[in-house]
Chain A
Amino acid sequence: MDKQHIRNFCIVAHIDHGKSTLADRIIEKTGLLTEREMQEQVLDNMDIERERGITIKAQTVRTVYKAKDGQEYVFNLIDTPGHVDFNYEVSRSLAACDGAILVVDAAQGIEAQTLANVYLALDHDLEVFPVINKIDLPSAEPQRVIEEIEDVIGIEAKDAPLISAKNGIGIDDVLERIVERIPAPEGDEDAPLKALIFDSLYDSYRGVIVFVRIRDGKVRKGTRIRMMATGATAEVVEVGTFGAGQFIPGEELSAGMVGYITASIKNVRDTAVGDTVTDDDRPCDEALPGYKKVQSMVYCGMYPADGAKYPDLRDALEKLQLNDASLRYEPETSIALGFGFRCGFLGLLHLEIIQERLEREYNLDLVTTAPGVIYRIWKTNGEMVELTNPSNMPDPSEIDYMEEPIVSAEIMLTSEYLGAIMGLCQERRGRQTGMEYIEANRVLLKYDLPLNEIIYDFFDALKSRSRGYASFDYELKGYEKSSLVKLDILINREEVDALSFIVHADSAYERGRKMCEKLKDEIPRHLFEIPIQAAVGGKIIARETVKAVRKDVLAKCYGGDITRKKKLLEKQKEGKKRMRQIGNVEIPQKAFMSVLKLDSE
């Protein structure tokens, strides 16, 4: 296939604007799949993705389109994740493309992620053309949205296809536009191999399957390849392209093409996304730009609810990591929760997805501790330590100062909620860095926010305070000095390590109080009174009490009640089993997660 007939592109959009649906339509129209084979959303093949309506793992499909000029074109549609947690993956996927389709909802217009993604695409020098989706909605205002795109983003939108991906309206127009507007790839087939890894996948039969975009040169079975950043080498077993939901083996991949390589690589870590693949015998001079080591942003402890399941949890994490290089974990021990792992994630959504997969696919019952970010502690001896587990916080006398990660956030909203959202950012220690009216009633707010203020429930708060009209995007900006303290929780006068968390000194009292109130509701009454206290540096700042049980008695127990009575007692005993024993107190598993819901009232 000559390069002139290849189009490598992706679709960028704000969440729910119809990216996956358009992808489905393109696949359908290009005729590789019959309608019967067509699952509702072909690209999203993981259960969780379908339920959450988002794409987690970037995937790619190769289809063949016969254009109106009578020629056949190969389309490599590279799917990109739609969530801010996966920004780096998005940027690598974009780097594998030559152009992008920007999907904008005809009713909603531009949203925070529309901007973030389109700027990302423009940064990668991609040719971007817009399509206006959902024109069949009663509230659709395509003309307004076109103007918005031209004003805000500054790209031509006058002749943007007006489509409804859901109802298959305007798709032909999009296909022709892909041929016209997306440039054919460039690259030198005879130069040394230079290919970008934009994704990888672990398959238990074939090992790691590396997704690549070939910039220069060729790769075929038997080529000895080298990953330039990780240094791993391997001999290619198979190359090929992506059918919908299947791998189609081929002879070779050459400059301009998108495809996969298998080489009996056992660990996805060896094939880091963003790394450059070259020919070990004839390496290229320099790697492709932009490679970053993936950084975990959010950490939490994960413990099996049943301590005996620790090996199962370890195996499950190992397996998940084969497929998800951004998941980090290391063993840790908690006095309260026993053996578990401290896990690192790209963000809170990533955390939730992993948690759900562990519970659903591996049938594990988990106790998760409060998520936290990575703090930098500068000690008086000049040493710097990164803190991922609050329990490991050094003695305050050894601490010179602490730093916390700050993000630059962009929030797009309608102006009527401006006050509410600015209030929210204020509460979360935000610092306003900008505000632009992009239309009479639409505002782009820019804030610097501490990451630890947004990892719990910022997204939910934003949605509820704006009635869903605000959208949000952020990227890590750096670290700043901050006044942070470790908040400890004492139950029946015993410190519970798994409940400690780091908090800004100014909100310690408030959070401590809420935490105690929440735990008071979560901890069942015992035979004795249980004080619940919050403390900072040994000083009690809040207290609640779980009163002792006064009565738990069955007044009647005659012939017909005995079997039922036993069930009741069994339930009581079973309930006890599902709790964690801290000293004399039994604490339900979910109490450990209650800190997550402190602001939900």
Chain B
Amino acid sequence: MYVRALCNEIASYAGTVKEPVYTVFFGGGTPSVLTPDLLKKIMDTVVTHYDLIPGAEISLECNPGTAERATLAAYRSIGINRLSIGLQSACDSELKILGRIHDNKQFKSVYYEARDVGFDNINIDIMSAIPGQTIESYENTLTEIVNHDPEHISAYSLIIEEGTKFHDLYGDDNSVIYTHKVNDLSSHSNTRCDIPSLPDEDTERDMYHMTKEILSSAGYHRYEISNYAKDGYECRHNSVYWTGGKYLGFGLGASSYYGDNRYKNTSDLGEYLEQKGKRYDLIYIDESSAMEESMYLGLRMMKGVSITDWRKRFKRDIWDVYGKELRKLITDGLIVTDNDRIRLTDRGIDVSNIVFSNFLLD
């Protein structure tokens, strides 16, 4: 029923979208729980209603605990050509802390079977700053995945977000706070003594910097704050987000940026199935919002923001709009300019939120 609603939604936009489609991404949650049949139905809907260019990047997020060889082969035959596997850590005890149901062994089997059935563009997600993680265990995760030789690696530092179990547990300042919620963290850590502390800030940054070192010496270049790839394997889909490109999101809670609006689908399944197509959090992106975004999204990429492209897009000189901010950030050593590009420095990456907040216009 959900897939039917989803296909209807996909089809409903067909008339309005004239542009060709360059990338498709199945993600958010665990799309690999869908049977290949259902996935095929969705893919067919896309192909029927849109102008999907030949060689389009078609990615699928895949949980190492939920995929089998036959399924993987079926995905491949549907046309999916990029796989993103959420490993997070090669250390099983850390996976438990994260509440993941897979272990490292399962991951390896999924990974090599995917290779076997012909996936030649695979991403592995890993995570640093997991509670209880040490520099050594993280280094081990890094070297192990480098040995698997994937094309792309996303390396995230765990963010304690409000509204998550970890936030209840660690609070705003990341120190362990004991509340009754401790018990539902996971069945494996239901007493106080089992709660490992978060790596401190220095360790966390060390991990972050180690990521870059190990991955770049293994041939992966960092092209975004948390993303590394072999040459030519940068995720084209995600790059759309950082360059102000347009995208349509379909399904429960999916986000879109189309026309000049950003908006979201309902997060209520019942409502979604009624297919009213109501848009939530609709925000009109006027020119100044687009300028702001061009900075705080564009600077996420290591190649930074091109001054020429910026002038072409906004018909204004970036120095006229952000001269004061840019000069201050340069003085503070947070960004650099070379030739046509403005980029974050390493220190600028570490405190990028502070850098980005400078680009909000009044």
A binding-site residues for B, Cβ under 8 Å: 527, 549-560, 562-563, 565-566, 568-570, 572-573, 576
Contacts and interface: CB of A to CB of B under 8 A. Distances in A.
Nearest to B350: A551
A552 B352 contact: yes
Contacts of A568: 353
B281 interface: yes
B253 interface: yes
B257 A527 contact: no
A553 B225 contact: yes
Given A549-B354, A551-B157, A555-B159, 15 more contacts: A550-B204, A551-B350, A551-B351, A552-B352, A555-B156, A555-B157, A555-B226, A556-B226, A559-B249, A559-B256, A560-B255, A562-B293, A562-B297, A569-B353, A576-B357
Contacts of B289: 566
B117 interface: no
Nearest to A571: B357
Contact of B356 (A550, A555, A569, A576): A569
A553 B350 contact: yes
Contact of A557 (B205, B241, B257, B360): B241
Interface residues of B, number: 44
Contacts of B240: 559
Interface string B150-162: 0000001111000
B239 to A, nearest CB: 11
A569 B297 CA distance: 12
A550 B357 contact: no
A393 B349 CA distance: 47
B249 A555 contact: no
22 contacts: A527-B354, A549-B351, A549-B354, A550-B202, A550-B350, A550-B351, A552-B351, A552-B353, A553-B157, A553-B353, A554-B225, A555-B157, A556-B159, A557-B241, A560-B253, A560-B264, A563-B281, A565-B296, A566-B296, A566-B360, A572-B357, A576-B357
Contacts of B283: 563
A569 B353 CA distance: 7
A472 B71 CA distance: 80
A392 B49 CA distance: 78
Contacts of A572: 353-354, 357
A553 B292 CA distance: 17
Given A570-B360, A572-B353, A572-B357, A556 B281 contact: no
Contacts of A549: 351, 354
Contacts, number: 95
Contacts of B201: 550-551
B254 interface: yes
Contacts of B208: 551
Contacts of A562: 241, 255, 257, 262, 293, 297
A524 B175 CA distance: 17
A73 B110 CA distance: 98
B22 interface: no
Nearest to A549: B351
Given A563-B283, A572-B357, A551 B204 contact: yes
B225 A555 contact: yes
Contacts of A556: 156, 159, 226
Nearest to B27: A558
A376 B89 CA distance: 69
A524 to B, nearest CB: 11
A553 B253 contact: no
Contacts of A569: 296, 353, 356-357, 360
Contacts of B159: 554-556
A264 to B, nearest CB: 48
A269 to B, nearest CB: 43
A566 B354 CA distance: 12
A525 to B, nearest CB: 10
A553 to B, nearest CB: 5
7 interchain residue pairs of minimum CB distance: A560-B255, A555-B156, A572-B357, A552-B353, A569-B357, A573-B357, A553-B352
A551 B292 contact: no
Nearest to B249: A559
B281 A554 contact: no
B175 to A, nearest CB: 14
B201 to A, nearest CB: 5
Which interface residue of A565, A566, A570 has the most chain B CB atoms within 10 A? A566
Nearest to A528: B332
Interface of B: 28, 156-159, 201-202, 204-205, 208, 225-226, 238, 240-242, 247, 249, 253-257, 262, 264, 281, 283, 289, 292-293, 296-297, 300, 332, 334, 349-354, 356-357, 360
Contacts of A573: 357, 360
Contacts of A570: 357, 360
B209 to A, nearest CB: 11
B290 to A, nearest CB: 12
A550 to B, nearest CB: 5
A278 B350 CA distance: 76
A553 B283 CA distance: 24
B22 to A, nearest CB: 14
Given A527-B332, A553-B353, A558 B238 contact: yes
B210 to A, nearest CB: 14
A559 to B, nearest CB: 5
Nearest to A557: B300
B332 A560 contact: no
B249 A553 contact: no
A453 to B, nearest CB: 34
Contacts of B300: 557
A535 B132 CA distance: 42
A565 to B, nearest CB: 7
B253 A552 contact: no
Nearest to B255: A560
A554 to B, nearest CB: 6
B26 to A, nearest CB: 13
B205 A550 contact: yes
Contacts of B256: 559
A393 to B, nearest CB: 37
Contacts of A576: 357
Contacts of A566: 289, 292-293, 296, 360
A527 B205 CA distance: 15
A554 B249 CA distance: 22
Contacts of B264: 560, 563
A562 B157 CA distance: 18
Contacts of B28: 560
A559 B157 contact: no
A551 B226 CA distance: 14
Nearest to A554: B353
A555 B334 CA distance: 17
Nearest to B293: A562
Nearest to A555: B156
Which interface residue of B204, B256, B349, B352 has the most chain A CB atoms within 10 A? B352
Given A550-B205, A565-B296, A576-B357, A559 B241 contact: yes
Contacts of A527: 332, 334, 351, 354
Contact of B247 (A550, A553, A559, A563): A559
B135 to A, nearest CB: 16
A441 B69 CA distance: 85
B224 to A, nearest CB: 9
Contacts of A554: 159, 225, 352-353
A33 B352 CA distance: 67
B13 to A, nearest CB: 15
Contacts of B354: 527, 549, 552, 572
Contacts of A565: 296
Which interface residue of B241, B247, B351 has the most chain A CB atoms within 10 A? B351
B154 to A, nearest CB: 8
Nearest to B359: A569
A563 B257 CA distance: 10
Contacts of B292: 566
Contact of A558 (B205, B241, B262): B241
A210 to B, nearest CB: 51
A223 to B, nearest CB: 60
